[in-house]
Structure 1
Amino acid sequence: MKQLINNLKGDKGIWSFVALLALFSFMPVFSASSNLAYLGHGTGNTLGYLIKHFFHVCCGFGIIYFVHKVPYQYFRYISKWMLVIVWVILLITMVKGTVIGGANASRWIQIPVVGLSFQPSTFAALVLYVFVARYLSKTREEPIVFVDSIKELWAPVGFTLMLILPSNFSTTALIFSMILMLVFIGKYPLKYIGIIVGSGIVFLTFFVLVSKAFPDVKFFNRVATWESRIKNFSGTNPDEDDYQIEKAKIAIASGKIYGLGPGKSVQKNFLPQSSSDFIFAIIVEEYGLIGGFGVMMLYLLLLFRFVVASHKANTLFGKLVVIGLGFPMIFQAMINMAVAVELLPVTGQTLPLISSGGTSIWMTCIALGIIIGVTKKEEEIEEEQKEAAKREEALQKLIDAQLSADEGSVASDYSIEDKSSNPMNAVLNK
């Protein structure tokens, strides 16, 4: 185990907080999976779900280890070509996406070989963040021309978001917000950002109006779900209570300060997404406000390490990659918690590293691997500098020792010459 830990490169703080979140996830996932076990098999045996989650987490850490060994600059070169692959996958998903409850679920695609459901939008988000970081680092030394940035940056970003929007508005909004944050930090001109935001609002309005004109088209049938969630959240539609939010609030109220205890949640039997979208409500119910704030603190500490890693990165691309991949992870966690306490309408965002689900965990682990790869590079640079300093110090000591030896030899020669040339010494010798 000690040898394995020594082989882990990069920021040890990030490794530690990620490991703590992953280890903690086993308890709420094991507890919250009971309703899925009853619905799926009628036995209530959650051991299978625990083993499945254990497999996902172990594969996730394997992904982190493998990705952090790859030089992070490599992802800069392949992001442009990976974006084309993302478009192909998203188009296939729109046509052949898995149907859930009769709704347009073109957010999921089935992988027949391994029997897994894959959500391409999460992968698209990772590629977009790296792609935007690549563009900003490339144009930092040159003045940005808006027309050129439309072609090189916003057209690919806009096309990708258009493919995600019809099936997943919350993910589209999250990705767009994080890209805006990234370009702002990357010193993209503020007036151009305003134009892009205005264009996005106009396009979204047009999309909603078209969906109203053609309500029976499958492509637009998620718009009604968006409207329903917003109305439930704002209270303008009191006749239609949001069942999930009500149960989540009951769970949080039942937890109080110390919680009901591990595995003693009651609302896990009623919340449809108790092990994924609403797992934070189960955490608070079982571990109380202390457990809820503890989880929140771990995410904030992870955010702090991301800020430190970004500050230490010696390349602009490294700084932007850490921000672009790290901040959305924490922002998604805060959205998940805010939904559980009804600060935001239902979005369907999972709690990173804690919620069950293979592909969501693995996509998060890819992002973490790239981030740790950036910190690993800085660690290697620091080690090289320390080694260089040690070599320089050793060389200086060797030079000083040689100079001291030479000075001693010269002093001895002068002493012998002085004795032989002194007449008194000659007389004494006689």
Structure 2
Amino acid sequence: MRKLLSQFQGDKAIWAFVILLALLSFMPVFSASTNLVHVVGTGSITGLLFKHFGHIFVGILIIFLVHRIPFDRLKFIAPIAWAPVSIILFITAAQGMMIGGANASRWLKIPLINISFQPSSLGWISLIAYVSWFLWRFADEKYTFQKSLWFLGIPTFFVVGPILPSNLSTAAIILFTIILVLFVGKYPTKYFTKIIAAGAVIIALAILTFKAFPDIAPTRFNTWEARFNRFGSEDKDEDRYQIENAKIAIAQGQMFGVGPGKSVQKNFLPQSSSDFIYAIIVEEFGFMGGIGILAIYVILLFRFLVVSNKAPNLFGKYLAFGLGFSIVFQAFINMGVAVEIFPTTGQPLPLISSGGTSIWMTCVSLGVILSISRKEEQVKQQLADQQRKQEEFKRILEEQQAENDIDNNTNANPIFAVLNK
């Protein structure tokens, strides 16, 4: 058993809290699944629970496999990974996939194995890795606005561009994370002003264009506009229906909740096992349960920052920060939507919400972070071994010197000299 556990290397606290979140996910997913079975009529409760177990099991396996790969190898992949991923993203955006009569152009279906996934998560990871590589590669060079715009603008456009029309919230999270990584990487502040100003102008022109020519607007443009307009209002519509039921669930939870599996609002929330699972957690486990989940993500953020700070090089530092922050930021947005701090976005709660793509891509990021912390432990162990060898060598020298001193003193004494003869 000890030998098996020794294979799980890296930051032990991250491992512990990731496993804890995975275990805690089963009760709310099991509870919320009754809505899918009895109201929507999708499968069976046991089937959905085993499906979630399969997602979690594969996710933990992904973390284990990825964390055993030296993260430095990503230096050779990061500069080019965004290119094939962007092609997949454009194919996904162009296909116009429909699921249950609803627009699902953020999904890509693999025909041979009949599996659908969201490539935006791949774009998310690949772009953070690329920006981390850029900051590491040009750390000793002076930035110019034209050069950095060329190196950063093209990959960002080709990754975020195809994601934006179908998934505004994910595109916004990616952009915000990239800006934060650049800020941590000491990217010149004067260039940020130009980029933000240019971005604001482009967004304003795009909105005006879409309003003037609705036929060329993205299919979800009206949905975005309606959600922002109705955010915080009292209008009765589908979005308000979800938010109001989420707030009712949270209010019913009070301090300690109504009890595991006893949620009532799960029967009224359309996305009770994914987008609004936090509301079900608070209803069943109360304010204390909700704060407990929030605290776990905060602790994970702290551990991610520790790994980033102790990373053996700048590439690992920026990569751990970007991937770690994006995971926790996504969690904060999911919880914020449930309490109406943010408009409805459709972001899952990492490692808790049901859904294979969300869990697996989060696990890839966690595997990379643990690989960085594993490298840190290896470097620390190497330094400790070197120090131990130096101390051992010093001790041997001191013993030899002591023996030489004894021999010299013996030969110098006349009595011992006669006896030696």
Same fold (TM over 0.5): yes
Corresponding residue number in structure 1 for 2:352: 354
1:60 positional shift: 0.7
- In 2, Cα distance between the equivalents of 1:416 and 1:23? 81
- In 2, Cα distance between the equivalents of 1:28 and 1:282? 7
Please say if residues 185 and 318 of structure 2, whose CA atoms lie closer than 8 Å, have aligned partners that are also in contact: yes
Corresponding residue number in structure 2 for 1:23: 23
1:13-70 deviation per Cα after TM superposition (whole angstroms, max 9, x unaligned): 1111111111111111111111112256477x31111111111111111111111111
Corresponding residue number in structure 1 for 2:179: 180
**Long gaps (5+) in structure 2:** none
1:308 to 300, 306, 309: 306
- In 2, Cα distance between the equivalents of 1:306 and 1:111? 33
Check 1:157–1:419 CA distance in 2 against 1; reply closer, same or farther (3 A cut): closer
1:249-273 deviation per Cα after TM superposition (whole angstroms, max 9, x unaligned): 0100010000011101111111110
What amino acid is the match of 1:125?
Answer: W
Corresponding residue number in structure 2 for 1:5: 5
Please say if residues 67 and 368 of structure 2, whose CA atoms lie closer than 8 Å, have aligned partners that are also in contact: yes
- In 1, Cα distance between the equivalents of 2:371 and 2:291? 29
- In 1, Cα distance between the equivalents of 2:340 and 2:321? 27
Which secondary structure state, in structure 1, belongs to the residue aligned with residue 345 of structure 2? coil
Corresponding residue number in structure 2 for 1:373: 371
Corresponding residue number in structure 2 for 1:424: none
Which secondary structure state, in structure 2, belongs to the residue aligned with residue 117 of structure 1? strand
Task: Within 5 Å, give how 1:3-402 maps onto structure 2.
Answer: 3-39=3-39, 41=41, 45-100=44-99, 102-217=101-216, 220-235=218-233, 238-240=235-237, 242-402=240-400
Which secondary structure state, in structure 2, belongs to the residue aligned with residue 220 of structure 1? coil
Check 1:382–1:169 CA distance in 2 against 1; reply closer, same or farther (3 A cut): same
Any runs of at least 4 consecutive aligned residues in structure 1 with deviations exceeding 3 A, and if so which? 39-43, 100-104, 416-421
What amino acid is the match of 1:197?
Answer: I
Root-mean-square deviation (Å): 1.8
1:233-288 deviation per Cα after TM superposition (whole angstroms, max 9, x unaligned): 142x7254611101100100010000011101111111110010000000000000
Check 1:31–1:279 CA distance in 2 against 1; reply closer, same or farther (3 A cut): same
1:150 positional shift: 1.3
What amino acid is the match of 2:22?
Answer: A
Which secondary structure state, in structure 2, belongs to the residue aligned with residue 33 of structure 1? helix
User: More displaced, 52-61 or 226-235?
Assistant: 226-235
- In 2, Cα distance between the equivalents of 1:277 and 1:240? 17
- In 2, Cα distance between the equivalents of 1:395 and 1:244? 70
Check 1:28–1:40 CA distance in 2 against 1; reply closer, same or farther (3 A cut): same
Please say if residues 22 and 352 of structure 2, whose CA atoms lie closer than 8 Å, have aligned partners that are also in contact: yes
- In 2, Cα distance between the equivalents of 1:42 and 1:163? 31
Q: Larger Cα Rg: Structure 1 or Structure 2?
A: 1
Corresponding residue number in structure 2 for 1:425: none
- In 2, Cα distance between the equivalents of 1:54 and 1:420? 86
Which secondary structure state, in structure 1, belongs to the residue aligned with residue 293 of structure 2? helix
Please say if residues 39 and 267 of structure 2, whose CA atoms lie closer than 8 Å, have aligned partners that are also in contact: no
1:326 positional shift: 0.3
- In 1, Cα distance between the equivalents of 2:42 and 2:413? 103
Please say if residues 410 and 417 of structure 2, whose CA atoms lie closer than 8 Å, have aligned partners that are also in contact: no
What amino acid is the match of 1:4?
Answer: L
User: More displaced, 299-308 or 157-166?
Assistant: 157-166
1:116-145 deviation per Cα after TM superposition (whole angstroms, max 9, x unaligned): 221111110110001011111111111101
Please say if residues 110 and 118 of structure 1, whose CA atoms lie closer than 8 Å, have aligned partners that are also in contact: yes
Please say if residues 259 and 285 of structure 1, whose CA atoms lie closer than 8 Å, have aligned partners that are also in contact: yes
What amino acid is the match of 2:235?
Answer: P
- In 1, Cα distance between the equivalents of 2:101 and 2:41? 22
- In 2, Cα distance between the equivalents of 1:123 and 1:420? 86
- In 2, Cα distance between the equivalents of 1:124 and 1:172? 10
- In 2, Cα distance between the equivalents of 1:88 and 1:158? 12
- Once the two structures are aligned, what percentage of the paired residues are identical? 47
Please say if residues 303 and 327 of structure 1, whose CA atoms lie closer than 8 Å, have aligned partners that are also in contact: yes
1:394 positional shift: 1.5
What amino acid is the match of 1:221?
Answer: T
User: More displaced, 362-371 or 391-400?
Assistant: 391-400
Check 1:121–1:34 CA distance in 2 against 1; reply closer, same or farther (3 A cut): same
What amino acid is the match of 2:31?
Answer: S
Which secondary structure state, in structure 1, belongs to the residue aligned with residue 70 of structure 2? coil
1:269-308 deviation per Cα after TM superposition (whole angstroms, max 9, x unaligned): 1111001000000000000000000000000000110111
1:323-364 deviation per Cα after TM superposition (whole angstroms, max 9, x unaligned): 110001111101110100011100111100110100110000
Which secondary structure state, in structure 2, belongs to the residue aligned with residue 374 of structure 1? helix
1:154-193 deviation per Cα after TM superposition (whole angstroms, max 9, x unaligned): 1221232111111111111111111111111111111211
Please say if residues 53 and 357 of structure 1, whose CA atoms lie closer than 8 Å, have aligned partners that are also in contact: yes
Check 1:123–1:42 CA distance in 2 against 1; reply closer, same or farther (3 A cut): closer
Check 1:24–1:239 CA distance in 2 against 1; reply closer, same or farther (3 A cut): closer
- In 2, Cα distance between the equivalents of 1:48 and 1:104? 26
User: More displaced, 240-249 or 293-302?
Assistant: 240-249
What amino acid is the match of 1:350?
Answer: P
- Paired residues in the alignment total 418
User: More displaced, 365-374 or 237-246?
Assistant: 237-246
